[in-house]
Amino acid sequence: MSTDKNEVFNDRFLKACRRERTDCTPIWFMRQAGRYQPEYRRLREKYSLMDLATNPELCAEVTLLPVRQLGVDAAILFSDIMLPLGPMGVRFQIQEGVGPVIDRPLRDLKAIERLRPLVPQEDLPFVLEAICILRKELSVPLIGFAGAPFTLASYLIEGGPSRTFHRTKALMFSRPDVWRALLEKLVEAVAAFLQAQVRAGAQALQIFDSWVGCLSPRDYEQFVLPFMQKLFSQLKGLDVPLIHFGVGTGHLLKLMKRAGGDVIGLDWRVPLGGAWAELGFDVAVQGNLDPAALLGPWDLVEQGASEILRQAGGRPGHIFNLGHGVLPDTSPDRLKRLVDFVHEITRGA
Q: Catalytic residue numbers?
A: 31, 35, 44, 80, 155
Phi, psi of 286 (to 5 degrees): -130, 130
Which of residues 44, 230, 254, 336 is near ligand CP3 by CB under 6 A? 44
With contacts defined by CB under 6 A, name the span among 14-22, 78-86, 176-184, 186-194 that binds ligand CP3.
78-86
Q: Under the criterion CB under 6 A, does residue 86 sit at the interface with ligand CP3?
A: no
Q: How far is the CB of 347 from ligand CP3 (least distance, A)?
A: 26
Q: Under the criterion CB under 6 A, does residue 305 sit at the interface with ligand CP3?
A: no
> How far is 281 from 283, CA to CA, in rounded Å?
5
Shorter beta-carbon distance to ligand CP3: residue 19 or 52: 52
Q: Under the criterion CB under 6 A, does residue 249 sit at the interface with ligand CP3?
A: no
> How far is 132 from 114, CA to CA, in rounded Å?
32
Number of residues that bind ligand CP3 (CB under 6 A): 24
Neighbours of 141 (CB within 10 A): 25
With contacts defined by CB under 6 A, name the span among 26-34, 217-225, 255-263, 331-339 that binds ligand CP3.
26-34
Residues 6+ apart with CB under 8 A from 239: none
Shorter beta-carbon distance to ligand CP3: residue 69 or 311: 69
Q: Under the criterion CB under 6 A, does residue 337 sit at the interface with ligand CP3?
A: no
> How far is 55 from 85, CA to CA, in rounded Å?
17
Q: Under the criterion CB under 6 A, does residue 146 sit at the interface with ligand CP3?
A: no
CA nearest to 75, candidates 16, 134, 158: 134
Which of residues 97, 237, 297, 348 is near ligand CP3 by CB under 6 A? 97
Phi, psi of 156 (to 5 degrees): -65, -40
Phi, psi of 319 (to 5 degrees): -110, 120
Which of residues 26, 34, 159, 291 is near ligand CP3 by CB under 6 A? 34
Q: Under the criterion CB under 6 A, does residue 50 sit at the interface with ligand CP3?
A: no
Q: Under the criterion CB under 6 A, does residue 49 sit at the interface with ligand CP3?
A: yes
Q: Under the criterion CB under 6 A, does residue 342 sit at the interface with ligand CP3?
A: no
Q: How far is the CB of 247 from ligand CP3 (least distance, A)?
A: 6
**Sequential DSSP letters for 108-156:** SHHHHHTPPPP-HHHH-HHHHHHHHHHHHH-SSPEEEEEE-HHHHHHHH
With contacts defined by CB under 6 A, name the span among 1-9, 90-98, 181-189, 283-291 that binds ligand CP3.
90-98
Indicate the burial class of 88 (C-beta count within 10 angstroms; 0-12, 13-18, 19 or more): middle
Residues 6+ apart with CB under 8 A from 58: 43, 47, 51, 52
Applying CB under 6 A, which residues contact ligand CP3? 30-35, 44, 49, 76, 78-81, 94, 96-100, 145, 208, 210, 247, 325
